[in-house]
Each structure stands twice: as structure tokens, then as C-alpha cells.
Amino acid sequence: MHAIFIDQHGGPEVMRWTALPDPAPAKGEVLVRLAVAGVNFMDVGARTAGGPGWAAPTVLGAEGMGYVTALGDDVQDFAVGDRVAWFYHIGSYAELLAIPASSLVKVPDDVSDETAAAVMVQGLTANHLTTETYAVRPGDIAVVHAAAGGVGLLLTQMIKARGGRVIGLVSREEKAALAREAGADHVLVSSGGGFEEKVRELTGGEGAHVVYDGGGAATFRSSQLALRPHGVHAYYGPFMGVPSLTPTDLPNSILLTYPVVHHHVPTRDALVQRSGEVFGMIRKGQVTPRIGGRYALSDAAQAHTDLESRRTTGKLLLVP
């Protein structure tokens, strides 16, 4: 089989389409032939800087959907031919993967391969952000960064499904229409900070209830200034830079949180429940992921280049 392999950290040029031995499923594992892999900013961070579990040499990728081709010992819940998806398995940019059965969920028959692959990381992230990080209630006002991106479009749709209002931020005017199509009530063009006054104007001077901020260090301060007292700054953009601060740097009475999706799905039961919630929203028409680009798996380096350029919208997918 082939996979996207790196032997050192760096730019997209370190990504190599490499022949590797076919994996064999160990006890409790399932052998899966990849159908679609998702591209995420976490993959860019793993490529450039590594991190826990991502030390080079390694195969990149964490998310995907595929078909079961073989079972290891003691696997009870899956059968050869099942359509399955996963939200975090290191090495997902590969034609074949041996994945713990506990990391897999079955894909409903009426959810397509591409849709399933597109929502495992970003859909579970958006579900986490709108339920446990800040449970959106009818009438709440949320600011969504990168509202035309993969997470941003899903966030907007989930907030609207819960009865909230959305102020979307996009980096370029040509992305504004996508955010509006997803349901954003207002869209602001902003590639960095400085949007807080407009948010206050749109909220009658009160500020937002929550800011979902994946924009990195450049947007950190403005996100906080856009909040009302006791508003929540949900900062989920660590790969875009993490500012240092002391408690007195925070505007009075706001709440700062650094949500990690693994806290949303810490167990097998949680993974099944939460992915079921996301698939359920898709089946009801409340959530529709936008596929922003399809690339051959062997061309994953180009997908990373395009993602980092901020030229893309929606979700990028890799197909073997």
C-alpha cells in the first residue's frame, strides 16, 4: 500500500507518497481500506511541528471513512464490508489502516462516503463547541471565526438549528456568500482583529454571548472585547498560535476556555452517541457539509498548500 509519509517536520515539501508494508489487524483491530480522508489544520500542525503522537517519521492524517476488509481477533461489532468512519486515528493518509474497533463508528446507509469523512473531526468539534463548551440557547448571539471554513460552516448550521444568531467572520468578501448560505445572520470581512466594535453595534452595545475563535493569536484580543460580561471565549485555534496572558489581561468577567474535542468523546459510548447526533442532524437536513476541494491522496501536499493559503472554503478531502 501507499501512504503520505514524512521523515522530518517542515513545509508541504516533506510529504512523500511512499510504499509501505500492508498492515495486518491485531487483536481488537479492524483492517480498513480508505475511501476518503479528511484534511484538517491539525494535520498541518502535525506536519510542521509534531506534537504528542506525531513525532517524525510518521504517516500524516487523523480522520476518514472506509470499508472493512478484515477483522482481528475479538472484534464483535463489525463485519467485512461495513462502512465505517473515525475521527482520530494517527496515520489516516494511507490506503490501508489497522484501526482499533473502539475508534470506529458505522456510517448510516443514507450518509454518503464523502459526507461521513467530512464531519468526523469538524462535525464532532462543532457539536462539542455548541453543546458542552457553550450550550447555545434560542436567541443567543455567537461570533464564528472563519465562517466559510469547514468548522465555521458546520458551527453556523448547528447554532441556527439550536435557535441562535450568528455573526460570521470571513477573511475575504468572496467568502461572505457561503457564510450567509449556511445561515449567518450577519457577515463581517476581517482577516485579523478590529471587529469588536462592529459586533457591539450589531448586538445593541451588549456584545456576543460566545465567540468561537479558531483564528489564532491575531484575533485573540478582539474576540474577548466582542463579548458581553460573562460571555465565553472558546479558543480552539492552538495551531494558529497561543498568546500568553495573565488573568488581569482579560476583560472584566468574561470566561476563557480552550476546548479539546477529545473531552467531548472520551469513551467509546460518547463517540457513538456524539457521532450519531451529527449524523442525525445531517439526515434531518439541519447540517450539510460543503466539500471545498477533492484531491488524490497522492496530492495531499497540494491540499496542505491550499489550506494554508486561506484560498479554500469548506472541507478538503483526499481520495485514493
Written as one letter, the residue type at 176 is A
* H-helix or E-strand spanning residue 295: strand 291-296
Contact 109, 26 (CB under 8 A): no
Residue-level pLDDT at 240: 61
Contact 115, 139 (CB under 8 A): no
Question: Where are the strands (E) in 87-237, listed by range?
Answer: 96-100, 105-106, 141-144, 165-170, 186-189, 208-213, 227-235
Q: Give, for all 320 residues of the chain, the pLDDT tens digit.
A: 999 999 999 999 999 999 999 999 999 999 999 999 999 988 999 999 998 889 999 999 999 999 999 999 999 999 999 999 999 999 999 999 999 999 999 999 999 999 999 999 999 999 999 999 999 999 999 999 999 999 999 999 999 999 999 999 999 999 999 999 999 999 999 888 899 999 999 999 999 999 999 877 888 999 999 999 999 999 986 656 677 788 888 998 999 999 988 899 999 999 999 999 999 999 999 999 999 999 999 999 999 999 998 788 889 999 99
State the Cα–Cα distance between residues 168 and 182, nearest whole angstrom.
10
Q: CATH 3.40.50.720 in the chain, residues?
A: 122-262
- CATH class of the structural domain 2-107+290-319: alpha beta
Residue 159's CB is within 10 A of a number of other CB atoms, namely: 28
Q: CATH 3.90.180.10 in the chain, residues?
A: 2-107+290-319
For 79-118, give the DSSP string: -TT-EEEES--TT-SBSEEEEEGGG-EEPPTTS-HHHHHH
Q: Which CATH architecture has domain 122-262?
A: 3-Layer(aba) Sandwich (3.40)
